[in-house]
Structure 1
Amino acid sequence: MGCDRNCGLITGAVIGAVLAVFGGILMPVGDLLIEKTIKREVVLEEGTIAFKNWVKTGTTVYRQFWIFDVQNPEEVAKNSSKIKVKQRGPYTYRVRYLAKENITQDPKDSTVSFVQPNGAIFEPSLSVGTENDNFTVLNLAVAAAPHIYTNSFVQGVLNSLIKKSKSSMFQTRSLKELLWGYKDPFLSLVPYPISTTVGVFYPYNNTVDGVYKVFNGKDNISKVAIIDTYKGKRNLSYWESYCDMINGTDAASFPPFVEKSRTLRFFSSDICRSIYAVFESEVNLKGIPVYRFVLPANAFASPLQNPDNHCFCTEKVISNNCTSYGVLDIGKCKEGKPVYISLPHFLHASPDVSEPIEGLNPNEDEHRTYLDVEPVSHYLTDLINILLMKLSRRIKLISSYSDTGTIGDEKAEMFRNQVTGKIKLLGLVEMVLLGVGVVMFVAFMISYCACRSKNGK
């Protein structure tokens, strides 16, 4: 009887030890299995989960616009008064809904090339008005002319054509005209070979961005989605030194196993440069734990504040010999047109930049740029506020826009089930096996020792 009891206790202890050991072994083995699966599925080649989502994004991406309506155009034109603006928006368009085209794998260097078609569909339900809403804004053609043609004789000719076309420094146009283009009466009179269509994003629809060539990750998973070349080049030919380099991904995704210490680098053709984001916090997005990375103010600082930005300073008037900050001259990549960018409401810009404008209210929560990244699988679950403003020297702002791609409820549920849910379940199984095993082993061993001690007496 005593032997049976002792044997049972020893058997229970052995089972507990086996469970504990199995749970302990499952931890590194499970992590290896997860890592191996992710490495297989994030490669950008036919048949993987990543490739399917990469070709055509499963997340709806919106581009939202806020227009700064000038309230006192006559005062500004006549007396150079302070510009009073009123922000109106958002006006929302669905973008990035078209699949990548001309996808070509190159096994020699483990890359895949493609172009991204551009298209925009107006979304009335997510907008405060219609595309026909009118705004008083800077006349882009009139403002740009003296900066493109600096010869005094040519400027005299242009001034006469401006008067003849009855154009002025300000104009009233519909949202659709401002964004996607309109025939300008002044440019229609210019005898030079120049496009007569003007628009902040003209041309956009039915155009493509690229050709991009990115690493597919087959040879090195840490390079997946990182851009090798853009339009056949590794540099942009816009900036001096390292500022001209094309770094990182296109911000739609990043290599897997993102760590908080990593700096996320990405290139945007809209802003004609590569830029970066740093870790800020952990966020729960619809049940998915993600890392939030933000664009730091240092990325927009003057060379006096951040010496690394010295090669972005090219324009000596807007930057006051590189002492002002928060505004970037991208005219060189816009065919020489006077175009500048900043964050909305001149967030992170020096006070002198916004001084001539009344009606701005920079706010960190509303106007910053951030990216939410699922750290294990590399998927970008939320892309907010890749923002841009169109500027001129005299009238310094027209509009701002943001790209917003937030994971939908259905996609979030699928992601939780297929990725985070399974990872959590495996972790739970590991902890249960380890915990139950240890408890069983300790309990049965204590009982066994107690029985032996009692029988010994």
Structure 2
Amino acid sequence: MQPKKIRWRVTLLPAIGALLAAAGAVLAICFDDIFQAILAQQLKLSPSSKSFPIWKAPTIPIFFDIYFFNWTNPINITDKNVKPHFVEMGPYRFRETKEKVNVTWNNENSTVSYRQMRKWYFDEEGSKGTLDDNITTLNAIAASAVYTSRYWNYIRQKGLSMGLTIFNQEISVTKTARELLFDGYDDPLLDLAKSLPQKETNAPPVDKFGWFYKRNGSTENDGYFNMATGYGNIKSFGVLKNWNNNTRTPFFSGSCAKVEGSAGEFYPPKLSKTQKISMFSADLCRTITFDYDEVVTVQGIPAYKYSGGSSILDNGTIHPENKCFCAGECQPSGTLNVSTCRYGSPAFISFPHFYLADPYYLDAIEGLSPDEDKHKFYIALEPTSGIPVDVAARFQLNFLVSPSNYVTLYNDVPHIFLPVLWFEQHVTVNAEIADGVKSLLKVPMMGNAVGLGLFALGIIIILWSPVRVNVKACRRLNRRKKDNPVPKIELEKSKPILNNMRAPKQHVNVLPSVEDQDEDEKDEEVAVVEPLNSVNNDLKKE
């Protein structure tokens, strides 16, 4: 019998199935890498990238809450039997906006340089109190002057003592919230400082004093940043390369002076639970590091929460590598000396209400009560993209007061850290951005599902073609057996008679020959029908 021509679909369909199965397997296995490559291209910062407008002028609401510590008994500061008592006031809420200005792209090293302009708008509805509230607090100007004079000779210190007396300076001042924050207030000591060489006084070049005086709308206070754009190495995306044109700060020594970590807006993608994250804080003039805490859900987005632990504000007591943060004078763990970063003022940073600090600080005062939920500093990042989805930056400003032998105002004061204020900068992604992030996270799942679906479809097509042929052939065979049954031949029991019997001359055609089938049936049943035709031929010979 001549070989039969196999129909085109008998070979084409399995080939198509094999291609689909191979493509599906590759897609399912490699889609995560493909997605990461696409994501990296989208995240890289450039004037035309999707991340640029979010970075340059974020539209996410940023709330800046300030809490003052109202000092209720400053008159008793020299009484060793009475602890300073404080009452928290606030929050005084401000809506904060940020904008990058003076942006310069450095393509030769894949970085961008810029300054930052921040503005604050008072939110009366979100505040508990008004900017006209009177607050009694430490006289920071006098405290800074006394702290700066601690290494002066006797004559200069006595001169300062006389000046404080002449200008009626006291250990505390009572001012309105607006004066203490952005408006500032006049003080004759500032006028005196301006008349002296700045190198000697180390006083800031201002005509008024306020904690945020002249910072609203300024582009100078935060400094000059240089950040990696992610081109060439996506792992460097958002990492600060230098600050004020330096890779080290002049305010600390050793490893503590390094400028490193995120600039604050972006973090490298594909985070793990075992790694730490770090960011540079211009307010603290240093890099701070966060440890992985837990998985949280923010607006339906799974995120890794990184929290600030005791290591951030330790000065070597617990973590020896942090001793270089002492800035010359080591204190019990829990406060960071930022005096060199703040014009020589005795400023020390802690977590609010001395959270995680040595009990030494709380034992010396009254009115503060640390609470982890209210006072922990944390950052929640979506691990795939590294996008911050919830941030609560919380720090407290404290002033060190120490006795002075030659400055009368400070003769009998204790060595004590007095809380001044604490602030919380809270940012949470809004619903619009959350929906975009959730859609982004669905892409890998969808890609894997498509890959598995193609693989399954390819296998089905590969198996379907021969199965279909055999099933159809068996059905036709059964149908023809029914239409043309093989006649039964009754055999006699006697063996001689059986031996004398001749084969019938007329042959019963059990099955029609292959030639009688239509062309479609020939090709699909060739493998099944040919053995059956052999049976017919044997019967003919008999």
TM bin, normalised by shorter chain, reads: 0.7 to 0.9
1:170 aligned partner: 172
1:407 aligned partner: 429
For 1:70 and 1:342, the matched residues in 2 are separated by 18
Comparing 120-129 with 387-396, which one deviates more in the overlay? 387-396
Q: Does structure 2 retain, via aligned residues, the 8 Å contact 1:167–1:185?
A: no
Q: What are the Cα deviations for residues 375-430 of structure 1, in whole angstroms up to 9, with x where unaligned?
A: 1222111211242323223452110112111111122123323x123334334434
For 1:442 and 1:406, the matched residues in 2 are separated by 52
Three-state SS of the structure 2 residue aligned to 1:115 is strand
For 2:313 and 2:474, the matched residues in 1 are separated by 75
Cα deviation for residue 198 of structure 1 reads 1.4
Q: Does structure 2 retain, via aligned residues, the 8 Å contact 1:301–1:309?
A: yes
What are the ranges of 5 or more consecutive residues in structure 2 without an aligned counterpart? 1-8, 197-202, 402-415, 479-527, 529-542
Counterpart code for 1:225: G
CA change 1:87–1:41 in 2 (3 A) is same
CA change 1:335–1:139 in 2 (3 A) is same
Comparing 71-80 with 251-260, which one deviates more in the overlay? 71-80
Q: TM-score, normalised by structure 1?
A: 0.86
Alignment of 1:421 with 2:474, yes or no, is no
What are the ranges of 5 or more consecutive residues in structure 1 without an aligned counterpart? 1-7
Q: Does structure 2 retain, via aligned residues, the 8 Å contact 1:141–1:186?
A: no
Counterpart code for 1:421: K
Which of these residues, 323, 338, 344, is aligned with residue 330 of structure 1?
338
CA change 1:429–1:86 in 2 (3 A) is farther
For 2:106 and 2:142, the matched residues in 1 are separated by 47
2:115 aligned partner: 115
Alignment of 1:204 with 2:215, yes or no, is yes
Write the mapping of 1:39-438 to structure 2, written as runs, cut at 5 A. 39-76=40-77, 81-95=82-96, 97-150=97-150, 151=152, 152-187=154-189, 190=192, 192-193=195-196, 195-208=206-219, 209-316=222-329, 319=331, 324-393=332-401, 394-417=416-439, 419-430=440-451
2:540 aligned partner: none
For 2:461 and 2:317, the matched residues in 1 are separated by 65
Q: Does structure 2 retain, via aligned residues, the 8 Å contact 1:68–1:397?
A: yes
Counterpart code for 2:27: L
For 1:359 and 1:449, the matched residues in 2 are separated by 88
For 2:452 and 2:94, the matched residues in 1 are separated by 47
For 2:123 and 2:290, the matched residues in 1 are separated by 29
Q: Does structure 1 retain, via aligned residues, the 8 Å contact 2:375–2:394?
A: no
Q: What are the Cα deviations for residues 140-177 of structure 1, in whole angstroms up to 9, with x where unaligned?
A: 11222211123333333333333333331112111121
For 1:405 and 1:369, the matched residues in 2 are separated by 12
Counterpart code for 2:380: D
Q: TM-score, normalised by structure 2?
A: 0.74
For 1:424 and 1:127, the matched residues in 2 are separated by 43
Three-state SS of the structure 1 residue aligned to 2:163 is helix
Bigger radius of gyration among the two:
2
Comparing 377-386 with 213-222, which one deviates more in the overlay? 377-386
Three-state SS of the structure 2 residue aligned to 1:251 is coil
For 1:35 and 1:188, the matched residues in 2 are separated by 56
Cα deviation for residue 113 of structure 1 reads 0.6
CA change 1:13–1:364 in 2 (3 A) is farther
CA change 1:357–1:438 in 2 (3 A) is farther
Q: Does structure 2 retain, via aligned residues, the 8 Å contact 1:343–1:387?
A: yes
Cα deviation for residue 81 of structure 1 reads 2.3
CA change 1:140–1:304 in 2 (3 A) is closer
Cα deviation for residue 449 of structure 1 reads 11
Comparing 77-86 with 131-140, which one deviates more in the overlay? 77-86
For 1:232 and 1:111, the matched residues in 2 are separated by 13
For 1:306 and 1:142, the matched residues in 2 are separated by 34
Q: What are the Cα deviations for residues 18-62 of structure 1, in whole angstroms up to 9, with x where unaligned?
A: 766544322234223311211111111111111221111232222
For 1:431 and 1:11, the matched residues in 2 are separated by 22
For 1:450 and 1:301, the matched residues in 2 are separated by 78
For 1:137 and 1:245, the matched residues in 2 are separated by 34
The percentage of aligned residue pairs carrying the same residue is 24
Give runs of ≥4 in structure 1 deviating > 6 Å.
10-19, 435-456
Cα deviation for residue 301 of structure 1 reads 2.9
Three-state SS of the structure 1 residue aligned to 2:435 is helix
* Aligned residues: CA RMSD: 3.1
Comparing 39-48 with 25-34, which one deviates more in the overlay? 25-34
Three-state SS of the structure 1 residue aligned to 2:256 is helix
Counterpart code for 1:135: I
Comparing 346-355 with 420-429, which one deviates more in the overlay? 420-429
Comparing 201-210 with 156-165, which one deviates more in the overlay? 156-165
Cα deviation for residue 358 of structure 1 reads 0.8
Three-state SS of the structure 2 residue aligned to 1:297 is coil
Q: What are the Cα deviations for residues 187-223 of structure 1, in whole angstroms up to 9, with x where unaligned?
A: 1563644544212233311322221111111111111
CA change 1:449–1:160 in 2 (3 A) is farther
For 2:466 and 2:180, the matched residues in 1 are separated by 80
Cα deviation for residue 243 of structure 1 reads 0.5
Q: Does structure 2 retain, via aligned residues, the 8 Å contact 1:187–1:196?
A: no
Three-state SS of the structure 2 residue aligned to 1:283 is strand
For 2:100 and 2:116, the matched residues in 1 are separated by 5
Q: Does structure 2 retain, via aligned residues, the 8 Å contact 1:161–1:189?
A: no
